[in-house]
Amino acid sequence: MGFTSGSKVPADLIDEIADGLIATSSYWNDGDTTWDTSDRTESNARRCLKYTGDSDDIWIALEVVNENIYVGNYARGIRLSYSASWDEVNHAMPDDAYHTFCIIYAEHEGVHADLSTTMITYYLWMDSSGFALMGKPEPVSGDNYQNSFIIVTEHMGTKEYTDGLTNFYTFMVMNHFRDNEETNYKPFMMTRPFVYQGYDMGDGIMFWRDSIKDMNAMKSTGNGKVYYVKPVICNSTDNMTPIYQSEMFWKYVPKTGLVDGDVVAVDGETTKYLCKALTSPTSTYTLYYAIKYVA
């Protein structure tokens, strides 16, 4: 499907992701046609995908949580879930599903934002292996915490070794508020189904970083080229089990010559990455990531 950007309400955004993935490969299928976005109240706008390209099928669900969930503050956002089975009678995932909750709005007395009408400015890459999404919400009066975010869900095509595990991971980071009081709505940064979920940055994923100069990538002042390292996905939160390097995204900091909107072309390939720098309406903390832009 490639790269798209624009502004959409979250329900339309998860529709674009689900329909786009189904269009990329016969391995992606609608996992439950009763899960749709026609009802956008509470947590009823949702999609279920079934991936059949591996030895074991896996279900990936996307839900717009448009009701107040208590996570230390009340929050609304998008929940992504993995399950190894699906209840086709009750149209539900099993109790042992893995969840991660991308909080978009939070407020201690209750969220004011209505996600059926609130717009997200987004930047989205999709191909047959998954998607990389960066988003910034529109300002909503009264909500103290309003998060920009990155979500990457990727099927690992070529692993370092045969591990007998699933071939997916999800990386998710927000730029302002996160808390962890509600079990099924924790904002896990790393999800490796069905092995672990890592709450802290670096749990299960390694980004190259020069600790002296504090940089993750650089634009050379010698030849003008960009040098970066793709993040390493691991099978454990101690990062002693590297299994894959992402093809979807990488991290940078601005002081190294890269800025928002830069397009980085890979030598000898058609592949390009788009650098984005996202603040949010309530925080100047910036997410600096490059996501795939051209295959």
Instruction: Report pLDDT digits (tens) over 23-46.
Output: 999 999 999 999 999 999 999 999
Strand partners, 278: 287
Instruction: Answer yes or no: pTM beyond 0.75.
Output: yes
Which residues have C-beta within 8 Å of that of residue 203, sequence separation ≥ 6? 189, 190, 196, 237, 239
Residue 111: CB atoms within 10 A of its CB come to 28
Give, as one character, the DSSP assignment of residue 215: B
Q: Which tokens sit at 284?
A: 């100047």
Distances (CA, A) of 85 to 51, 57, 92, 154: 11, 8, 9, 19
Q: Which tokens sit at 126?
A: 């999709």
How would you class 213 by CB atoms within 10 Å of its CB: exposed for 0-12, middle for 13-18, buried for 19 or more? exposed
Please give the pLDDT value at position 183.
79
Please give the pLDDT value at position 119.
98
Percent of the chain at pLDDT > 90 equals 93
What is the greatest pairwise CA distance in the chain? 62
Residue 76: CB atoms within 10 A of its CB come to 26
Average pLDDT score over the chain: 96
Percent of the chain at pLDDT > 70 equals 100
The yes-or-no verdict on residue 20 having pLDDT over 80 is yes
Please give the pLDDT value at position 212.
86
DSSP for 14-43, please give it.
HHHHHHHHHHH-TTEEES-TT--SS--SEE
Please give the pLDDT value at position 178.
83
The yes-or-no verdict on residue 87 having pLDDT over 80 is yes
Please give the pLDDT value at position 148.
98
Instruction: Report pLDDT digits (tens) over 161-213.
Output: 999 999 999 999 999 988 777 779 999 999 999 999 999 999 999 999 988 88
What would the mean pLDDT of 276-292 be, rounded to a whole number? 98
Q: Closest by alpha carbon to 295, among 262, 269, 275? A: 269
The yes-or-no verdict on residue 84 having pLDDT over 90 is yes
CA 39 from centre of chain: 23
CA 290 from centre of chain: 13
The yes-or-no verdict on residue 106 having pLDDT over 80 is yes
Lowest mean pLDDT among 54-68, 114-128, 156-170, 200-214: 200-214
The yes-or-no verdict on residue 128 having pLDDT over 90 is yes
The yes-or-no verdict on residue 16 having pLDDT over 90 is yes
Q: Which tokens sit at 88?
A: 């086709």
Q: Closest by alpha carbon to 69, among 171, 191, 177, 149? A: 177
Q: Closest by alpha carbon to 18, among 97, 131, 109? A: 131
